[in-house]
Structures are given as C-alpha cells and as structure tokens.
Amino acid sequence: MERPQKMPKVAKVKNKAPAEVQITAEQLLREAKERDLEILPPPPKQKISDPAELADYQQRKRKVFEDNLRKNRMVVSHWIKYAQWEESQKEIQRARSIWERALDNDHRNITIWLKYAEMEMKNKQVNHARNLWDRAVTIMPRVNQFWYKYTYMEEMLDNVAGARQVFERWMEWQPEEQAWQTYVNFELRYKEIDRAREIYERFVYVHPDVKNWIKFARFEESHGFIHGARRVFERAVEFFGDEYIDERLFIAFARFEEGQKEHDRARVIYKYALDHLSKDRTQELYKAYTIHEKKYGDREGIEDVIVSKRKFQYEQEVAINPQNYDAWFDYLRLIEGEGDVDLIRETYERAISNVPPANEKNYWRRYIYLWINYALYEELEAEDLERTRQIYKTCLELIPHKKFTFSKIWLMYAQFEIRCKELQKARKTLGMAIGMCPRDKLFRGYIELEIQLREFDRCRLLYEKFLEFGPENCVTWMKFAELENLLGDTDRARAIFELAVQQPRLDMPELLWKAYIDFEVSQGEAQLARQLYERLLERTHHVKVWMSYAKFELTQYDADLADEDPEINIKLSRRVYERANDTLRTAGDKESRVLLLEAWRDFERESGDNHAFKKVMEKMPRRVKKRQKIVSEHGVEEGWEEVFDYIFPEDEMARPNLKLLAAAKMWKKQKESVNTESDENDVSKSMDAEK
C-alpha cells in the first residue's frame, strides 16, 4: 500500500516587518526601460540590386496589402497605405486603381477623396484632379472642404474664370456664411468690386442676419461708397422691420454716421431705435447713445439720454415687481419732470392698477400715496377739478373700510371740496367717514374744520359723538373742556372735566387730572384745586402727585392766610411732604420715597429753615449693596445677582422692637418645651410606683 504523499512544510516568515527600502511598480518599470529589456532590434536593411529582386519584393508587398484588404475591407488605412506605397513605387496607374477600388468600397469617405485628389495634384495630373473634384462635389455637395480645395486649385492654376465658375456652382447650394465670405475675398483679390457687391446682395438674403448686413455696409464704406453704405443700412432697417430688428444694427448705423461727422443723423437714429425697440432690447443702445451725447451733445441732449436710461431702468424694476411702489414713485417723479400730461396720466393709471395682494394695512401704506400724488397732480398741475374729485371717489371706493381705512384720504378729499367752495359736500364726506369707519384722526380733523369755520355748535355735537366713540380718550376730554373754556363757558368746562375723571377707564388719567387742576388754578380756584389733589390722592399715591401737590401749596398765594402767617405756604408744603413720607413708608416703596426725600431736602434748603433741613437729612437713607437669588419663571434658581437697596434711619429705629418681640417668642417656645418634658418625667415616675 502506497503511503500518502506529505505536503511540504511552508517556511514561516519570522520577520514580518516591512523592508527599509520599498520597491514600487513605477521603479520596476523604470529599471526595465533603462535596461532596454523590451526593445527589439531593428530589422536589417534590404538592398535591391536588380529588377528581378525588385519585382519579387513588390510582389511580396502587394500580397501582404491584398491579404490585409481581404481580411477587412472596411479599414480605410489599409487602402491609403496600399495606394501611397504604389505611388512611392512610381506606379501611378496602380495607385489610381487602388484609389478607385477604395471609392467603390466606401464612396462617402471624405479622407479617401482628399488623399486621392492630393496624389493627382502632387503628380501634376491636373485634368485627373479636376475630374476627381467634380465627382466629389457632385456626390457630396455639402462637404465644404471639397469646394475649398477645388477653388484653391483652380486659383493656383490661374484659372480665375474656372474658379469663379466653381464658386457659382457652390453658391447654388446656399452654403454657410464663411463660404460666401471666401467668394467675396476671392473677387476682392482681383479687384472685382462690382462682382463682390453682387455676391453680398445675394448673401444678405440667403443669410438674413444683422451681422451680415453690417458686413455689407462696412464693405461699401471701406471702398469709399458712403451713400451705398447708408443705403445698405436703410435697406436693412426696412428689411427687418420693427419685429425682428436688432439694436446692433442701429448702433452700427449710428457709429457709421458718427464717423462721417453726421452727428444729427446719428442722434435721430438713436432716438428712432429707442422709440421702436422694446425696453428689454436696448441696454447696449442706451450705453452707446450716452457715450455719443457725452462726446458730441449739449447739456440738454445729455440730460435726455440720462432720463431715457433711467426710464428704462424703472420700467425694468416695475416689470419685475409691479408692487414695488418706491420704484413707481421715482418713475412718476421723473415723468412729471417732462411735463407730458397724457404720459403722466397713463403712468399714474398703470401704477394705481397694481393693488396690494392682501387686505392688510401695512401693504397699503405706500400704495395709497400713489392716489394722493395723482390727485394732487390733477388739482395743482393739470387743474382738472372734476378729474381730481373722481380720483378721490375711486380711491375711497377701493379701500376696504370694514377692515381698515386711511383718515388722510377722507380729510384731503374734504379739504379739496372746501377749496372748491363745496362746504356741504365736504361735511357730507366727513360725516360718511365717521359713520363708516370712525377714527380719532377723522374726528379731530372734522372738529378743526368746524372751528376754523366758527361753527361751535357743530363742534360740540362732534365732541359728543367723539366721546361716545372713545370715552377713554383723555385728550378728547381735555380738548372739549379747552374749547368750552375758550368760549367763556367755565361751568360747562368744569362739568366736562368732572365727567372725564369719573370715567371707569382712561388711557392717560394723569394728564387729565393735571389739566383739570391747571384749569382750576387758572380760574383762581385754589380751594377747588386743593380738593382735586385730595381726590387724586385717594386714587393713587404716586410720588409725582405728592411732589406736584407740595409745589402747588408752595406757589399758591392766599392774601387772607398770608396776612395771618407769612410762612403759611411753606408750612402747608412741608405738611404735604410729611404726609407723603408717612404714606410711602407705609406702602414700602423705597425708590419713590428716595425721590420724595430728595425733593423735600431741596425744598428745605431753599426755604432756609436749618432745623427742618436737619430733620430731613436725618431721614435720608443709606445706599447699600446686597446679593439676592435669581429665580427663573419655572422656579429654578439660576444664581445670584447684586442689587442696591436703601436703608432708612426710621426703619432702623423700629427694628430693635422687632428683635425684642422675636426674642420674647423664642423664650416662650423654649419654656413650653421645658414644661412638656417635666410633665412626661412625672408621668413615668408615677407609673413605676404603681407597678
């Protein structure tokens, strides 16, 4: 039995660390290149010494070429190499035969035709080459390379007529623009200007592009035919019309006229272009016009260009965003400067047609000024009163008064009717405004109008309506009372103030009370003013009220009391300060108390009473710095902060009594705990004795 063959043991690599010097694939390839390992030695040179050997060599080569063609007839390089080899052997007939076989195999191959014709021309076989080019352009007339080579060959042979005939055949196929330009250049080389012009005439209709018309005009200009160039530009403008015209044509036309020193013609061309082209197609035109006017125009011309350019910019802005009312304002201001009434009205109508998308007042604030400016223009500049009235009415009908309104429009309309001496229409308008959408500004404007007309009974009625609409408005109450006071009806004014202070809700009660007190003081009713202060202090203990009361007592002069005691005002004022200090101390408002004491201190310093001044100084607090916890809204402690506090001497004097009271409570608590422990001990002893 044969033993199983054992597998050889694989030697273990003891050191698996990378070698110090690493060899890369690039290094291996470079070393192979340096050693020339893959370069084969060149074949030995073969010298042919007799015709038999040459024939044998040619037979072997032809066999190789024919074998390659049999293997793959579609490889063009095989045919080209075969034909070129035969050409190198001076076998032109054989080479021509091979080229013909190649064309039979693939007659659409451009390379074969080019190489074939090149061989014929190289060997000065002109008729063969001409015949070959004819065949090529007949089979593939859209291959421009054949035509270029064909015309070049005829021109090199000085066959100008033949070259022209080839060009004409080519142009019948309406080739690309470069072919026409080549034909023109050909004629220009032989100074055939009229023929070149005829070619351009056909060219601009076959390829009706602006740049081709410009080339035609520049051709005429370069050869001194100025009128011809101008006529070409004019024909181009007529040919394209307003729909397909391009700004490049006008710019070239204007620069041509500028070059001929015809600046007025150039200016007319620019203006014609700006009038007939759409605004989005005239950017470069504006730039060229501006440069022209800066060079050759006067001040007015330059300003016209700048205005036109700005118009174009504004038109673009409002086209992109019709609700860009700032752009409309600038545009309208520019249009109004020109003074064209119809254009201004048309622009205003375009502007006001862009109603804000939402019925929210913020969107309407800028828009409404378009209507205002429109109405003011019609009234002041155009002086068309009926159109102005219609603008105001249309604007008021457009505004959604149930959601919001603009008091300014109502008031301006009413003032316009008054200027037109239509008082009843103005009153009717304001009455309708108050009925539809009552606003404070409307009431005030209506009342001011009636005051100017001295219709005070109407003013009273309007104030009553105003107060029914907004009874919490303190300014209205004050203005109403002021009106009655001006009319000399003091009792009505006082009654109005009384009604006002009795209102349950007021927006600025401090102003109302101050106005009421000032009214009584102006009437010389000091006692009534004092009563008002007392009534006000029943409602609020604000420090400014106390300070105002003290100043009132100090400045108020009573002849009877002054005779009895010359310092009665100082005493009354000091009494107010004392009452205020006691009240604020009870309320615990330290900041207000500090303000009061400072005012009291200044008062005593001015009065000159040193004893009273010392008493006030003893009441002045000390300012100390304290730390307190910062607690968030959720009750979480977030740290500490430093605050300033005031310690008043009067509060410190009362503090020992508080400490004594706290000590007494502590002693009582300790005593109760001691009595409880003694009672428990007695009970436990009695229980032990019973056991």
Specify which of 242-251, 564-573, 579-588, 635-644 reaches the highest per-range mean pLDDT.
Answer: 242-251
Interatomic CA distance for residues 2 and 655, integer angstroms: 120
**Phi and psi, residue 640, nearest 5°:** -125, 155
Asked, for residue 255, whether it belongs to a domain, the answer is yes
Query: Is the distance from CB of 222 to CB of 232 less than 8 angstroms?
Result: no
Q: Give the count of alpha carbons within 13 A of 494, CB side only.
A: 12
E-strand stretches of 391-454: none
Q: Give the count of alpha carbons within 13 A of 383, CB side only.
A: 0
pLDDT of residue 176: 92
Mean pLDDT throughout 459-472?
69
The number of beta carbons lying within 10 Å of the beta carbon of residue 274 is: 20
pLDDT tens per residue, range 399-449: 877 787 887 877 787 888 878 887 777 778 777 777 777 776 777 777 777
Least confident of 149-163, 205-219, 574-588: 574-588
pLDDT at 662 over 70: no
* Angle, CA of 211, 216 and 220, to the nearest 5°: 145
Residue ending a domain, choose from 256, 274, 297: 297
pLDDT of residue 689: 47
Asked, for residue 581, whether it belongs to a domain, the answer is no
The CATH number given to whatever domain includes residue 215 is 1.25.40
pLDDT of residue 438: 75
Model confidence at 292, in pLDDT bands (50, 70, 90)?
confident
Specify which of 225-239, 260-274, 366-380, 499-513 reaches the highest per-range mean pLDDT.
Answer: 225-239
Query: Is the distance from CB of 339 to CB of 361 less than 8 angstroms?
Result: no
The number of beta carbons lying within 10 Å of the beta carbon of residue 391 is: 23
Percent of the chain with pLDDT over 90: 16
Mean pLDDT throughout 298-324?
70
Mean pLDDT throughout 317-336?
79
Residue 267: closest CA among 300, 301, 242: 301
- Residue 645's H or E segment, with its range, is strand 637-647
3-class DSSP state for residue 638? strand
What domain range is 217 assigned to? 208-297
pLDDT tens per residue, range 72-104: 889 889 899 999 999 888 888 999 999 999 999
| CA-based end-to-end distance of the chain | 112
CA dist list (Å): 256 to 248, 267, 272, 372, 519? 12, 12, 16, 48, 85
pLDDT at 687 over 50: no
For the stretch 550-557, contacts whose Cβ atoms lie closer than 8 Å and that sit 24 or more positions apart, written own/partner, are 550/576, 550/577, 550/580, 550/599, 550/600, 550/603, 552/517, 552/521, 554/603, 556/521, 556/526, 556/529
Asked, for residue 628, whether it belongs to a domain, the answer is yes
Classify the C-alpha dihedral 35-38-44-45 as positive or negative.
negative
pLDDT at 2 over 60: no
pLDDT at 690 over 50: no
Specify which of 44-48, 527-531, 664-668 reaches the highest per-range mean pLDDT.
Answer: 44-48
Asked, for residue 220, whether it belongs to a domain, the answer is yes
Burial 110-143 (b: 16+ CB within 10 A, else e): eebbbbbbebbbeeebeebbbebbebbbeebeeb
The count of domains in the chain is 2
- Residue 646's H or E segment, with its range, is strand 637-647
Model confidence at 396, in pLDDT bands (50, 70, 90)?
confident
pLDDT at 173 over 60: yes
3-class DSSP state for residue 285? helix
Model confidence at 130, in pLDDT bands (50, 70, 90)?
very high
CA dist list (Å): 204 to 143, 173, 201, 208, 256? 22, 15, 6, 5, 19
Output 268 or 558, whichever has higher pLDDT: 268
pLDDT of residue 161: 92
Q: How far is CA 691 from the centre of its chain?
A: 103
Would you state the structure tokens that stand for residue 643, as one six-digit string?
């605050």
* Residue 7 DSSP class: P
pLDDT of residue 346: 85
pLDDT mean across residues, the chain: 78
Output 358 or 489, whichever has higher pLDDT: 358
Residue ending a domain, choose from 275, 297, 319: 297
pLDDT of residue 631: 74
453 Cβ contact partners less than 8 Å away, ≥ 6 residues apart: 423
Query: Is the distance from CB of 412 to CB of 426 less than 8 angstroms?
Result: no
Interatomic CA distance for residues 367 and 360, integer angstroms: 12
pLDDT of residue 683: 41
Asked, for residue 235, whether it belongs to a domain, the answer is yes
Would you state the structure tokens that stand for residue 148, as one six-digit string?
């270029």
Specify which of 30-34, 48-52, 201-205 reaches the highest per-range mean pLDDT.
Answer: 201-205
pLDDT of residue 181: 92
Model confidence at 691, in pLDDT bands (50, 70, 90)?
very low
Asked, for residue 226, whether it belongs to a domain, the answer is yes
Angle between helices 193-206 and 210-222 (to 10 degrees): 170
Interatomic CA distance for residues 602 and 616, integer angstroms: 10
Three-state DSSP string of 8-63: CCCCCCCCCCCCCCCCCHHHHHHHHHHHCCCCCCCCCCCCCCCHHHHHHHHHHHHH
Interatomic CA distance for residues 54 and 522, integer angstroms: 144
Least confident of 174-183, 452-461, 606-615, 647-656: 647-656
pLDDT at 107 over 80: yes
Query: Is the distance from CB of 240 to CB of 249 less than 8 angstroms?
Result: yes
Q: Give the count of alpha carbons within 13 A of 119, CB side only.
A: 26
Would you state the structure tokens that stand for residue 471, as one six-digit string?
């009874």
Residue 582: closest CA among 568, 603, 596, 570: 596
pLDDT of residue 274: 75
Model confidence at 22, in pLDDT bands (50, 70, 90)?
confident
* Residue 158 DSSP class: T
Residue 134: closest CA among 147, 120, 121: 147
pLDDT of residue 166: 93
Asked, for residue 217, whether it belongs to a domain, the answer is yes
Model confidence at 333, in pLDDT bands (50, 70, 90)?
confident
Interatomic CA distance for residues 285 and 189, integer angstroms: 36
pLDDT at 1 over 50: no
Asked, for residue 648, whether it belongs to a domain, the answer is yes
pLDDT of residue 467: 66
Would you state the structure tokens that stand for residue 606, as one six-digit string?
């001015």
Supply the pTM of this predicted model.
0.50
Mean pLDDT throughout 275-298?
72
Query: Is the distance from CB of 183 to CB of 171 less than 8 angstroms?
Result: yes
CA dist list (Å): 436 to 79, 376, 510? 99, 25, 32
pLDDT of residue 470: 66
Residue 150: closest CA among 111, 117, 176: 117
Interatomic CA distance for residues 125 and 88, integer angstroms: 16
Would you state the structure tokens that stand for residue 90, as one six-digit string?
């001076």
Q: How far is CA 197 from the centre of its chain?
A: 53
Query: Is the distance from CB of 405 to CB of 439 less than 8 angstroms?
Result: yes
Residue ending a domain, choose from 297, 323, 347: 297
